[in-house]
Structure 1
Amino acid sequence: MNRTGSLYVTGNSLFHRLDGAVKLVLFMAWTVMTYMFLDLRVFVPMLIVGIVLLVTAGIPFKRMAFLFWLMIIFTVLNSIFIVLITPTFATRLTGTDTPVIPLGYNTINSETLFYVLTLSAKYLTLLPMTILCIFTTQPSAFAASLNRIGVPYKIAYAVSIALRYIPDLTEEFRGTLNSMQARGMGISKEDGSILQRIRNLAAVVVPVLQSALHRIDSVTNAMELRGFGTQKRRTWYSGKDMEPLDWTFVVLGVVLLAAGIWLKVKMLRGFWYPFS
């Protein structure tokens, strides 16, 4: 966590210089583009572009390691469940069945393996853009940008507070967990049965949630004392005007989305399987 108490990582990369609202537009266009398709020919170039942008942003891996490994674990588990539960699922998409791996109760076919590969690429394509938007945007600047594009300032400020306090709660959870482990209440395999570990984890989560509620109450009281919400408008210390670079990327996001819609309607309508 940096000294601002947020996930923001200081830098001067292209994404760091973009306005928060522009990043939101790009993220929405990127997400819609990703979910429109089920085609590896689309996901591979998008993933490469996302990785290049992520590398150029200069975000330390240890700062984004949690999100990275969380997405990897989710993708792997999702793929395993699909293959084991519906080993011939992709047959209904391609109309072909090429058995590869016998399971006893069924046989995994190559169509489903390729489908799992495509689906994994789909999920991973979202990861670089998500990390970029989270770690290259100051919460206050993002809230100001949201308010400027029409989002009520109360909602924008709530988003800003959430982004600021996520690292604090994470740090508090780690500290509470370390103190519990020092007292012999761990959550690893060596610390007892699954039920016992769940109880130990609950003993960590409950005080952290109570602390979060106390923080919310304190922030609410402080904001009420300062008259927050009494005016229809408010000013922002970190607000700034849109620059030519920002407008360029807004146009780029719109063009990307339009190109995606055209490809979906005209060319890449369904699941792409190259061996059918």
Structure 2
Amino acid sequence: MMNKLILGRYIPGNSLIHRLDPRAKLLTSFYFIGIIFFANNWQSYLLLGLFTLFCVYLSKVDFGYFLRGVRPLLWLILFTVALQVLFTSGGQVYWEWGVFQITEYGVQNGIFIFCRFVLIIFMSTLLTLTTPPLELSDAIEFILRPLNVVHFPVHEISLMLSIALRFVPTLMDETEKIMNAQRARGVDFSEGNLIQKMKAVIPLLIPLFVSSFNRADDLATAMEARGYQGGEGRTKYRVLHWHKKDTVSICAYAILTIVLIYLRA
């Protein structure tokens, strides 16, 4: 598991983060992603970084999982950082060639963008690793419940998000099985240039699509066999309960916001 995509995976545990109400974790995760854009200096990013590491420590989840959450997006992060470094002007100029230049502000913005990406991925990974998909679905449905007034399909949307999140690691496992089967038949996915590597991946798509459609059909049959009729009039086996520790977590984010605004000023 450590070498696979961890998005959508849940690591069972009994830490403080695991025991928080999923509504509190979902709200605070989105709130953290929002306030991270208020950071504008190294002091504010240091504060957010220490806070994120403290949350990771409280979760008691191996730190390697969070690093592997960054790995699939590393090239996108580096590409974005490179654009910031090469096309941001201002401050002392360290290097210049045509339209490209490396300046003081460019390097600073590149570092800030990198930290922003990593912190967002860490917090999102923390949410999925410590929250079962079904509880996450219940939290999304509860938060979107006011949209029922305008006849928005809240239950269906939350169910779709939960199923999609749940089957991301399943599809990754299926892809790895197909790749191993084709490697056993002599296919080498690491040979050739970029175009040849892309062509080698194409044979993976057909069996993966067939497997996905079969899995979706089995899931639909299982839901119909159990009498699933949507969210209207449906009772819940898992009832969410808001505790004191959830309120404390909200207050912690409020204090974090105050300190962040102070450091920003």
* TM superposition score normalised by structure 2: 0.83
Secondary structure in structure 2 of the residue aligned to 1:227: coil
**2: distance between equivalents of 1:105 and 1:162?**
43
1:134-171 deviations in Å (ceiling 9; x for gaps): 10001122222333334433222222222321111111
- Kept in 1: contact 2:175–2:208 (CA 8 A): yes
Whole-Å separation in 1 of the counterparts to 2:63 and 2:264 = 35
Q: What residue in structure 2 maps to residue 148 of structure 1?
A: 142
Give structure 1 stretches of 5+ with no counterpart: 92-96, 270-276
The equivalent residue for 2:114 is 120
Q: Secondary structure at the match of 2:95?
A: strand
The answer as to whether partners of 2:17 and 2:130 remain within 8 angstroms in 1 is yes
Q: Which structure would you say has the larger RCO, counting Cα contacts within 8 Å and 6 or more residues apart? A: 1
Contact 1:71–1:127 at 8 Å: present in 2 too?
A: no
Contact 2:26 2:139 in 1 (8 A): no
Shift of 1:113: 0.9
Aligned to 1:101, what secondary structure does the other structure show? strand
Q: Give the 3-state SS of the residue equivalent to 1:67 in structure 2.
A: helix
Distance 1:171 1:61, change over 3 A: farther
Change (3 A) 1:254 1:209: farther
Give the match's secondary structure for 1:238.
Answer: coil
- Aligned residue among 24, 29, 40 for 2:26: 24
**Which digits, 9 at most, give the CA deviation of each residue in 1:42-68, with x for residues without a partner?**
222111110222133222345444322
Distance 1:197 1:204, change over 3 A: same
Give the structure 2 partner of residue 130 of structure 1. 124
Cα RMSD of the aligned pairs, angstroms, is: 2.7
Contact 1:8/1:137, CA 8 A, preserved across alignment? yes
List runs of 5+ in structure 2 lacking aligned partners.
3-7, 146-153
1:179, distance to aligned residue in structure 2 (A):
1.3
**1:191-226 Cα distance to aligned partner (Å, 9 max, x none):** 223222111111113321221122122212322333
| Other-structure match for 1:52 | 54
Verify the 8 A CA contact 1:47 1:125 in the aligned structure 2. Answer: yes
**How many residue pairs get matched?**
252
Give the direction of change, closer, same or farther, for the CA distance of 1:142–1:231 in structure 2 (3 Å limit). Answer: closer
Matched AA of 1:134? T
Task: Find the residue that maps to 2:235 and give its secondary structure.
Answer: coil
Deviations 1:112-139 (A, max 9, x none): 1111111211222212211110100011
